[in-house]
Amino acid sequence: MLTLYKIKNLWSTISLLALLLITPDAKACDVCGCAVGGMSMGLGMETTNNYFGLRYSHVQFNAQINYNSQYLEDIYSNDSYHRMELTSKYHFTPKIYGMAILPVVYNTMRGNTENIAHASLGDASLGLAYRLISPPMDTTKIRGHLLDIGANISLPTGAYQLEHEGEIVNRNFQAGKGSFAYSAVVKYMFMFKKWRYTTDLSYGWNTVNKDDYHFGNQLNVFASFGRLFNWGNTTIYPSLGAYFEHGEQHTEDGKIVFNTGGNAVLADIGVAVKTSKLTYWMKFLPVIHQSYNVDALSTIRGGKRLNLGIRYRF
pLDDT at 175: 94
Q: How far is CA 56 from the centre of its chain?
A: 12
Rounded to whole angstroms, the Cα distance separating 42 from 237 reads 10
Q: Are 227 and 238 in contact (CB under 8 A)?
A: yes
Look up the pTM and report it: 0.84
Choose among 138, 239, 229, 144: nearest CA to 191.
Answer: 144
Mean per-residue pLDDT pooled into runs of 10, the chain (314 residues): 42 42 43 44 62 96 90 91 96 95 96 91 96 79 88 96 90 95 96 93 97 96 96 95 96 94 96 95 96 90 94 94
**pLDDT (0 to 100) of residue 260:** 92
Q: Which domains does the chain have, with CATH numbers?
A: 37-313 (2.40.160.40)
Residues present in the chain in total: 314
Bridge-based pairing of strands 96-111 and 115-121 is: antiparallel
Helix (H, G, I), strand (E, B) or coil at 25: coil
Predicted confidence at residue 13, as pLDDT, reads 45
On whether the CB atoms of residues 84 and 53 are closer than 8 A, the answer is: no
**Rounded to an integer, what distance in angstroms lies between the CA atom of residue 241 and that of residue 41?**
11
Taken in order 256, 259, 261, 262, the sign of the CA dihedral is: positive
> Which segments within 141-247 are labelled E, that is strand?
143-154, 163-164, 167-168, 181-192, 195-206, 213-214, 218-227, 229-231, 234-247
CB burial string 236-268: b at 16+ within 10 A, e below: ebebebebbbbbbbbbbeeeebbbbbbebbbeb
3-class state of residue 9 by DSSP? helix
Do residues 148 and 187 touch, judged by C-beta distance below 8 A?
A: yes
Dihedral sign, Cα of residue 110, residue 114, residue 119, residue 124: negative
pLDDT on residue 196 = 94
Measured CA to CA in angstroms, residue 111 lies from 29, 31, 34, 169, 246 at distances of 9, 12, 19, 13, 26
CA–CA separation, 7 vs 261, rounded Å?
A: 37
The reported pLDDT for the residue numbered 275 is: 95
